Amino acid sequence: MSIFGLHYKLERSAIGFTLAVIVAASIGGLVEIAPLFTIDETVEPAPDMRVYTPLELAGRNIYIREGCYACHSQMIRTLRDEVERYGPYSLAVESKYDHPMLWGSKRTGPDLARVGSKYSDQWHVAHLINPRDVVVESKMPPYGWLMRNKLELNDLGLHLKAMRKVGVPYSDAQIANAVKDAIGQASPDSDEATGVSERYGEATNVRAFDGLPGTVTEMDAVVAYLQILGRLTDAAHKTPMKAE
């Protein structure tokens, strides 16, 4: 067998064999890197794509902290049953500003990619405090402390700055006003609230998510985040679902 003959010769030459090992190992790297060459084609254009507000970003961090991703995915696959249950399948652009992405692969609970504005804030609050108060069959653990914990506000600007480092287009004004915007988003009719829609767009939810205007709790942040899931862009709803 000639291929084994080649190997027989190759392993007897130190330099030749080293080069061969490098070539073989770099194939593994290439397979991971090469798909990124087509990233422009993979990530669909979505001019209406919004960034997370500081409050939503804080909620996202709490979502990660509490390990929600271990039981909830955020990725609707291109399968008929998923599309019929959850809505349009997820597009790459929808996770454009997710660092890290939270697609997940395990669904003990349902997928959350399109949960934004599906249920009321009150429902989310009641459900997070004790899931079985609203869904008798639920096996989700309670997260009552979200209501008791005040949200850590001081480092929000730094979080935004870090996100900008990895490509999220936060403006200087957004970074400078991060704390104010987080308070404003959870306190409708306050002075801070007007700046939120100015900097993040009219479509931004400005509500007392936890039902208590004035205090910014971790509950505010998590509910604000859940209510924006799947709603940063309408691109997925515009993608043609018809076969050609």
Partner 1 sequence: MSVGERDPYTGHMTTGHEWNGIKELNAPVPKAVLFFLAATFIFALGYWILMPAWPTGVAYTRGLLGIDQRMTVAESVAAATRDRAVWAQKVIDGDYAAVQADVALMRTVRQTGRTLFGDNCAVCHGQQGQGGKGYPAIAKAPWLWGGEPETVAETIRVGINAAHPDTRVSQMMAFGRDNILERPELLKVAAYVHSLSHKSDAPAATLKDGKAVFEANCVACHGDDAKGKRDVGAPDLTDNFWIYGSDLQGIYETIYRGRQGQMPGWENRLSSLERKILTLYLLDLRQTRN
**Binding residues for partner 1, per CB under 8 A?**
1, 4, 12, 34-35, 37-38, 40-41, 78-80, 83-85, 87, 89, 117-123, 126-127, 133-137, 239-244
Least distance in angstroms from the C-beta of 214 to partner 1: 13
Which is closer to partner 1, CB of 121 or CB of 220?
121
Least distance in angstroms from the C-beta of 212 to partner 1: 12
Q: Find all residues with CB under 8 Å of 206, minimum gap 6, and list them.
A: 184, 185, 188, 193, 196, 197
Least distance in angstroms from the C-beta of 123 to partner 1: 6
Question: Angle 115-116-120 (CA atoms, 0-180°, nearest 5)?
Answer: 95
Least distance in angstroms from the C-beta of 58 to partner 1: 23
Least distance in angstroms from the C-beta of 174 to partner 1: 24
| CB-CB contact of 92 with 44 (8 Å) | yes
The residue among 43, 131, 142, 61 whose CA lies nearest residue 102 is: 61
φ, ψ of residue 6 in degrees (nearest 5): -60, -45
d(CA 171, CA 190): 23
φ, ψ of residue 58 in degrees (nearest 5): -65, -40
Torsion, Cα 17 22 27 32, to 10 degrees, reads 160
Which is closer to partner 1, CB of 115 or CB of 156?
115
d(CA 83, CA 181): 35
